[in-house]
Chain A
Amino acid sequence: MRISRRLRSISAAVAALALTTTLAACAGSAGTGPTAAATSDTPVAGGTLVYLEQQAHTNLYPPSGGFYPNGGVLNQITDKLTYQNPQTLAIEPWIAESWTSNAALTEYTFKIRPGVTFSDGTPLDAAAVAKNYDTYGLGNKELKQPVSEVINNYDHSEVIDPLTVKFVFKKSSPGFLQGTSTIGSGLVSLATLAKSYDELGSATNIIGSGPFVVKNEVLGKEVDLSARSDYKWAPKNAANQGRAYLDGIKIVVTAEDSVRIGSLLAGQGDLIRQVQAYDEDQVTAQNYQVHAAPTKGVNDSIAFRPDNPLVSDVRVRQALLKATDSAEIVSTLFSENYPVAKSVVAQTAVGYVDLSAKLKADPSESKKLLDAAGWTLGADGVREKDGVKLSLTIYESLPQPQNKQVLQLVAQQWAKVGVKLNILAGDAGSRTVDNLDPEKTPLTVAEVGRADPDVLKSQFYPANRDALLQKGGSSTKVKSFSDTTLNALLEAETSQTDLAQRLKDVADIQNHLIDQALVIPIFEEPQVFAAAPYLKGLAFEAVGRPSLYGVWLEKK
């Protein structure tokens, strides 16, 4: 009895002990619970990120950074003079601590942050910055380095003291300050600038001052980056001011859409670029993250070449604008990450005005306009005038998401009002040559990302991308078309020093483009990425290139 009682008391003690331990354990876990939640917001250092790209990078001369695979590499290895806050679009200090400009905006002076070095050990000082901008602003013929698209009217630089540099312009350049924050204005060491343009396709030749350094490259396949341990010059307002959290990044080219998504979901990759709208559900269904970064520039659109007599009549262009139902295109092909266009530029763009009232689809109005313009329905359902069919040709644009499907839907919509749209795929050479000839391509696909009103000039000005193909522009095949009103507005906007007036000019440009029906905006194009659930701190620069500086991996 005694024994059994003792036994019982022992077992009771053991049970009690067990209970307390369990309780303690529970208490412990309950106690660590909140801290665990807290740590999930506290970055941990270490790990290598595997980033799957759809295409290999090409030339990494920073002004060629517009191509997304290039920007994906350059944004990690180069810093810029200024940082454009992706939310507010304000320009904030980065390598430049402060800056001033004269009232006419023909001179900009930048104070460089002291102690910044390129990864080859050379200083990033006023002289280095001056050499970078002289190259980007004027090009270097001997080394075949072309001029940057974002720097207009550049004249020369002056090194005032080791940490002060001044840029002088031939004309007012209000877009220049924002231009210093773009991917095309990444700062590279003098050793890189001394190399021929032909050799800048090797990532190992690009020496920047960024948080990561190119460690190794397998041409066309893989770029390995490693963190710079002495990095301490992040944008002034960034949360992290020290070295990057990641130890390294492996950028692996994986061309196949299904292999990229499959690899991400199977845990072989951590971050992938170019997720099609129809694949988004597959990613979110497994609690993976979809990041859609807006590109804040000219929307995914169809632009007219009015030099072609078929579309020289504004009524025909307006009819086609009204025949296009962009809401139907978006709801059929895309997801909520692709907003229907409400103007020529995205809602997130600087100077955007809501023109959705002018962009409503109205097939019956469209038919009336075509009738009034003298195009009558033929026996085969295609309108004709003087024996000529209203049959238009466009090349599909490979970089734009599901562009072929978009154009096929447009073709169906236009067929309802009696207009035929032929969609060509073609090889790159034919596409490039034909796209310069308004007779062959009365239409073209247009889109450009840049978070500054200068983006409109980039897209439509004859000396720039010349989407409408004007006389004296990029093509010698143009006979007479020139839109002097538009060009005057674009010139005024890009040299307007008064911000309020500049925004008004931007609004006028948008109204002009839509009233003259020179462009049919369809949707706001995002850059869509997918990431593993444990990937934290992913950020994007102003037009959707990933910034991996603040990224950390919760487990792995």
Chain B
Amino acid sequence: MPSYLAGRIGQALLVLWAAFTLSFILLQALPGDALLIKYQNPDMGLSPEQIAEIRASYGADQSLVLQYLHTLGNFLTGNLGYSVSASVPVLDQLATNLPATARLAGLGFAAAVLLAVGIAVLANLARFAWLRTAIASLPSLFISVPVFWLGIVLIQVFSFRLKLIPVINPPEWQGLILPVLTLAIPISAPLAQVLLRSMDDVLTQPFISVARARGASLPWILWHHVARNALLPTLTIAGILFGELIGGAVVTETVFGRSGLGQLTQQAVDNQDASVLQAIVVLAAAVFVVVNLIIDLIYPLVDPRLKKSLGANA
């Protein structure tokens, strides 16, 4: 097990380095850069000589290899640099935005899981075929709802018409309700679909018929036999969906005017703010790697059969 973990951590570091390098190359390949966008802006009214001086002061006139090594060195020593467009340390930006997004994404993900489980269980417990079909078709509806539109509709209804929750300066927990819903609904859809499908698969297994023959009720079977077995594929997809949370957060945070990594990413992309983007890419890669590592470690807890293969690997 320890050597398995060490291997996985080594892999993770490799992924982080690759993400860093790839994002550096991609950002360099784009036309223009943050300095040009900022200082060539007519609002600044700077002459070409002045712009060249500024570029030199940021080291933008050095060779790409030197710039790469310089940035990598800074990264390794924890110096993330400054955002060119916002003129604040990137570390400060992350400190402001990371907790906000963590809360939104964490709660959004939890809500999505609840929704998905609710849909899957209700669909299986439904007594009428039409009700079952109706509930089972909810995920298709959820996934086709544009996040942007959903957010605006929720604001219009709950904030502007019913005046239940303010959008501007809401108390923290209140302010989370609508954004979390907005984020959770589309994310819950693929989860619910996979869960429904795997529950269907498990329900047709012979051991279920045995349990039923022994007189177990449907809810009891769902809870004791189906849930655990149907969880595996859902876990896998949940790991992948975590990445989508950041994408969903961009839109949600913009619509609700919340600070967060999503909004920060969008602004950094708009301004090709390399230092901010690289920090976000590496951070996102780190979160992704950690989440998937955790999920891999959870597998054997959910399904003891996987313990052996893990041990064999290690």
Measured CB to CB, the closest approach of chain B to A164, in angstroms, equals 29
- Whose C-beta in chain B lies nearest to the C-beta of A53? B257
- Chain A residue nearest to B45 (CB atoms) is A149
| Across-interface contacts of B53 in A (CB, < 8 A) | 141
- Asked whether A146 lies within 8 Å of B169 as measured between CB atoms, the reply is no
Contact B88 A219 (CB under 8 A): yes
Is the Cβ of A266 less than 8 Å from the Cβ of B163?
A: yes
List residues of chain A with CB within 8 A of the CB of B93. Answer: 219-220
Q: In chain B between 249 and 298, which residues have their CB closer than 8 angstroms to a CB of chain A?
A: 254-259, 263-264, 267, 270-272
Do A429 and B37 touch across chains, with their CB atoms under 8 A apart? yes
Known: A266-B163, A429-B30. A221 touches B47 (CB 8 A): no
Which A residues touch B45, using CB under 8 A?
A: 66, 148-149, 458, 464-465
Chain B proximity mask over A53-83: 1 for CB below 8 Å, otherwise 0: 0001011110010110000000000000000
A-B contacts, CB under 8 A, total: 163
B267 touching A56, Cβ below 8 Å: yes
Q: Point out the residue from A141, A146, A430 that lies within 8 Å of B44, measured CB to CB.
A: A146
Is residue A428 contacting chain B, with contact meaning CB distance below 8 A?
A: yes
Are B86 and A254 touching (Cβ within 8 A)? Answer: no
A50-B32 CB under 8 A given contacts A259-B255, A266-B160: no
Decide yes or no: A58 and B85 within 8 Å by CB, A428-B271, A429-B30, A465-B45 being known contacts: yes
- Beta-carbon contact of B43 and A66 below 8 Å: yes
- Most chain B CB within 10 A, of A64, A221, A448, is at A221
Hey, which chain B residues are within 8 Å of A473, CB to CB? 48
Q: Which residue of B lies closest to A430 (CB)?
A: B31
Instruction: Give the size category of A's interface with B.
Output: 35 or more
A265 within 8 A of B: yes
Proximity bits, A245-263, B CB within 8 Å = 1, else 0:
0000010111110110011
B50 on the A face (CB < 8 A): yes
B92, A263: Cβ atoms under 8 Å?
A: no
Q: Does B39 contact A (CB under 8 A)?
A: yes
Q: How far is the CA of A474 from the CA of B46 in the complex (A)?
A: 9
* B:108-152 near A, CB below 8 Å: 152
Contact B32 A474 (CB under 8 A): no
Q: B31 and A433: CB pair below 8 A?
A: yes
B54 contacts which of A144, A149, A250, A262 (Cβ < 8 Å)? A144
Known: A429-B33, A433-B32. A221 touches B258 (CB 8 A): yes
* Contact partner, A255, options B160, B169, B257, B271, Cβ 8 Å: B257
A52 CB → nearest B CB, Å: 7
**Are A256 and B86 within 8 A (Cβ)?**
no
- Return the contact of A254 from the options B48, B168, B271 (Cβ within 8 A): B168
Q: How far is the CB of A516 from chain B (nearest CB, A)?
A: 21
> For residue A463, which residues in chain B have a CB less than 8 angstroms away from its CB?
47
Residues in B with CB closer than 8 Å to A61 are: 87
Q: Is the CB of A146 within 8 A of B54?
A: yes
With A198-B82, A254-B257, A433-B32 as contacts: A262 and B43 at CB distance below 8 Å: no
| Contact residues, B72-107 vs A (CB, 8 A) | 82-83, 85-89, 92-93, 96-97
Chain A residues near B159 (CB-CB < 8 A): 262-263, 266, 268
Segment from A168-176, A199-207, A340-348 that makes contact with B: A199-207
Whether B235 is near chain A, meaning CB under 8 Å from some CB there, is no
Task: Check A256 against B152 for contact (C-beta < 8 Å).
Answer: yes
Please name all residues of chain B whose beta carbon is closer than 8 Å to the beta carbon of A200 when the two chains form the complex: 87
Q: How far is the CA of A263 from the CA of B156 in the complex (A)?
A: 9
Complex: A427 Cα to B30 Cα, angstroms: 10
- Residues on A close to B: CB < 8 A? 50, 52, 56, 58-61, 64, 66-67, 139, 141, 144, 146-149, 197-202, 218-222, 250, 252-256, 258-259, 262-263, 265-266, 268-269, 427-434, 436, 448, 458-459, 463-465, 467, 473-476
A–B complex contacts, Cβ < 8 Å, 15 sampled? A56-B86, A60-B87, A198-B89, A202-B88, A218-B259, A252-B168, A255-B254, A255-B257, A262-B159, A263-B166, A268-B168, A428-B32, A428-B272, A429-B36, A431-B32
